[in-house]
Structure 1
Amino acid sequence: MITVSHNLSQFIAQLKRQARQEQFAVALALTRTAQAVRDETPAYLDRVLDRPTPFSKRGIFVQRATAQKLEAVVGFKDAQAAYLELQEEGGTRRPKRRSIVLPARIKLNQYGNIPRAELRRLYDRAKNDKRATPALKKRLGISSKVDLFVGDPGEGLPPGIYKRLPDALVPLVVFHEGPVRYRPRMGWRRWTLRLAGDRIAGEWLKARAQAQATAR
């Protein structure tokens, strides 16, 4: 008589341990790849956008993969995605209220924007028919020796904040009442897929070695 015996329960337990190790390694590789995208996105935004703000560059989040859910997610938080989506996909931005504020002849900050607080001060002084204060003049690059006007000047000029000259109105800030159209220019999703494709294999090998080294 020929017989074969084997401890199947031990063999099955070993297979289960290996399966858990593989799942751990895949989840770790996915998470590290998503983290690499997050960490390299600020430098990418510097390359493709004009002076992105620190607020934009720190708005990336990562959801870690787990052994139960082998999926890692990287993306922009809601506040940043609300305006960066137009840079990524293009489209039309419509005023939330009456108009969209667009700079005309005014000094912008280092990120190419009008500081909201300064715009509010400028608007308030123009509304009260006052001149710009010396401090406001220095920050926004306008003369404190001219009167300010806010509203609709007529004669084909858009509503906005203007400085009064003896024979003309010079726009400082224009209130654009129609939609503003954007073309796609960020390319972040395409760049992310390419970076993830370059990183995932290496991260998988490192994660697998780590899983085997810590296996029980």
Structure 2
Amino acid sequence: MAEFDLSSNIDAALGFAAKLHQDQMPFATARALTKTQQLVKANIEAEMPRVFDNPTRYTLNSLYLQPATKQDLSARVWFKDVDSGGRASTKFLGPEVYGGERRYKAFDRALQAAGIMPAGMVAVPGSAVELDEHGNVPPALIVQILSYFNAFPQKGYRANMTQRRRDNLARGKSGVRGFTYFALARPEGKLPAGIYRRMDYGADKRIAHLQHGGAKPMFLFVSLPSYRVRLDFHGIAQRVTEAEFPRLMVEYFEQAVATAR
């Protein structure tokens, strides 16, 4: 009776399978993990314009991807810690993911340290502030107000205004009306607590000063607000991973098997 014996080839076949698993499986897994996280990142970035009002380019580019390798089978998408300007994405976008209280900004801390704004409050833009296209306060205005109230922490720091400079602003110049700032730590009359700009009204300036006439709200002091979750970061990541990773794992492993030597 004819006989076909596999015994002479079984060790080689098992050895090949073991080597294939050892060499190709980590490679396929790393590719699948990285590709899945690329899709997670793309889906979260696509969600940002929907949940945020006219987000800045900085916000839209605030995610980074850490790819997986054969030696480290983990891929990660998260917010960049610090950008070139020293801002931490996790600090200003973290509340949008987890909810909770808004963090104090450097502007808030400087106003509190200078005794301009009471503790436990934050400064929010008033109706007189012209926001930029993304709804943010122009940095030059922040610097001007901190300088005006000598709120930069370094003593003698030249960015802090001298009285002469404040007097020059109050007088104005040709074609530019003068102005002054004043701050209210608590409500006064009809004015809520905040920082106000008062324009120069010529002969009536002394009366306007006494009555806060012509005062325009630049910033209002409000209690530290709480955020609701707006960006479903983890929900998106889980849904994309469950939908895509098993498919990609099979696809990349089959490619690895087909090209194995």
Q: TM-score, normalised by structure 2?
A: 0.67
Aligned pairs, number: 206
Cα distance per residue 1:43-86 (max 9 Å; x no partner)? 21011111221112212122222334332211112221111110
Contact map agreement 2:123 2:194 (CA 8 A) in 1: no
The answer on 1:188 being equivalent to 2:233 is yes
Alignment correspondent of 1:137 = none
Secondary structure of the residue that 1:170 maps to in structure 2? strand
In the TM superposition, residue 175 of structure 1 has moved relative to its aligned partner by 4.2
User: Which of 246, 254, 261 is the aligned partner of 1:209?
Assistant: 254
The residue number in structure 1 matching 2:39 is: 36
- Of 210, 216, 220, the residue aligned with 1:170 is 216
Which of 9, 12, 16 lines up with 1:10 in the alignment? 12
Shift of 1:34: 0.3
SS across alignment from 1:101: strand
| Cα separation, 2, equivalents of 1:149 and 1:10 | 85
Correspondence list, 1:126-145, <5 A = 128=166, 130=169, 145=177
Partner of 1:102: 124
User: How far apart, CA to CA, are the structure 2 residues paired with 1:7 and 1:190?
Assistant: 50
Offset, 1:42: 2.2
Counterpart of 2:93 in structure 1 is: 84
**For residues 8-62 of structure 1, what are the alpha-carbon distances to aligned partners after superposition, in whole Å with 9 as ceiling and x for unaligned?**
5423421222213222212211110101222333221011111221112212122
Q: In 2, are the aligned partners of 1:45 and 1:52 still within 8 Å (CA)?
A: yes
For 1:120, give the aligned amino acid.
V
Aligned to 1:21: 24
For residue 183 of structure 2, the aligned residue among 151, 154, 159 is: 151
Counterpart of 1:56 in structure 2 is: 59
**1:101-142: CA deviations, max 9, x gaps?**
3111211111111022332135546872525989xxxxxxxx
- C-alpha distance in 2 between matches for 1:133 and 1:100: 30
Question: Equivalent residues in 2 for 1:112-127 (5 A)?
Answer: 112-121=135-144, 123-124=146-147
> Which structure 2 residue ranges, 5 or more long, are not aligned?
82-87, 113-120, 150-160, 202-207
The alignment yields a C-alpha RMSD, in angstroms, of 3.1
**Match for residue 161 of structure 1?**
196
> Quick check: 2:28–2:253 contact (8 Å CA) kept in 1?
yes
Structure 1 consecutive aligned stretches of length 4 or more whose deviation exceeds 4 Å: 131-134
Q: Which has the larger radius of gyration?
A: 2
Q: CA deviation at 1:162?
A: 2.5
* Structure 2 Cα separation of the partners of residues 67 and 8 of structure 1: 28
CA distance in 1, matches of 2:182, 2:257: 70
Comparing 203-212 with 49-58, greater Cα deviation is found at: 203-212
Aligned CA distance change for structure 1 residues 35 and 133 (closer, same or farther; 3 Å): farther
TM-score (norm 1): 0.79
Bigger shift: residues 54-63 or 203-212: 203-212
The 3 A distance-change label for structure 1 pair 38 and 215 is same
* Contact 1:132–1:148 (Cα < 8 Å) also in 2: no
